[in-house]
Amino acid sequence: MPIHPLSSRPATQTRSTRTHRRGYATRAAVVATTSAAAALLSVLPSTAAAPAAAAAPATVSARAVSAPVVSVPVVPAAASVPTHATTSRSSAVANALSKVGAAYRWGGDGPSSFDCSGLVNWAFEKVGVDLPRTSRALSQVGTPVSRNDLKPGDLVFFYSPVSHVGIYIGDGQMVHASTSGKPVAVDPIEGREYHSARRVA
């Protein structure tokens, strides 16, 4: 059968149509790809900023941790300073000890001879402390002190009623003017009837 010359037109038109369709498809793909890329780029800045924002506290924290530490020098505790009263008592003890060997004399109040209360009065008067004259009156002044808490300079009393006084110097010893015929001496507080003690300075 003879082929009509126009019979080839549909075939040409079909090929052309296919070519145009492929061109449209390619352009559509390019447009879609471009749109997707634009969308991706629009997302990327916010995505990249997020880690930076998240890292900000860590940066601040790092600066805080690396802040310089100021060392404070340790100052040793100050040694205890003797009070005026302690100094007065120590001086009174030193005064009385300076008279060891001085004669005993009833009613003697120094500076060369003493009775018991006369020695106490003389020793404390030298440091500005005025006291009663007799041992019994002395046992009523100042602050009571237990025998276990005696400190140098405390007055120790003997017999009941009180009739003798000495000045405690530590280690169970006292300095006193004891009796006629015996000079001022250092003796233990043991060996006589202990009565009480007083702190007068």
In a domain, 75, yes or no: no
In a domain, 77, yes or no: no
Catalytic residue among 4, 84, 116, 195: 116
Query: Which pLDDT tens digit goes with each residue over 51-99?
Result: 444 444 444 444 444 555 555 555 454 454 557 778 999 999 999 999 9
- At position 121, the amino acid (one-letter code) is N
Query: Which pLDDT tens digit goes with each residue over 163-191?
Result: 999 999 999 999 999 999 999 999 999 99
Asked about 20 being catalytic, the answer comes back as no
In a domain, 55, yes or no: yes
In a domain, 180, yes or no: yes
Residues 192 and 155 in one domain: yes
Residues 93 and 173 in one domain: yes
* Structural domain that includes position 178: 85-199
Token output for 172: 């169970």
Identify the bridge partners of residue 198 per DSSP, sorted by sequence position.
144, 155
Residues 182 and 94 in one domain: yes
CA distances for 146 relative to 32, 86, 163, 194, angstroms: 106, 17, 19, 12
Query: Which pLDDT tens digit goes with each residue over 11-51?
Result: 444 454 454 455 544 454 444 455 554 554 454 444 444 44
Asked about 84 being catalytic, the answer comes back as no
Domain total for the chain? 2
Catalytic residue among 20, 84, 176, 195: 176
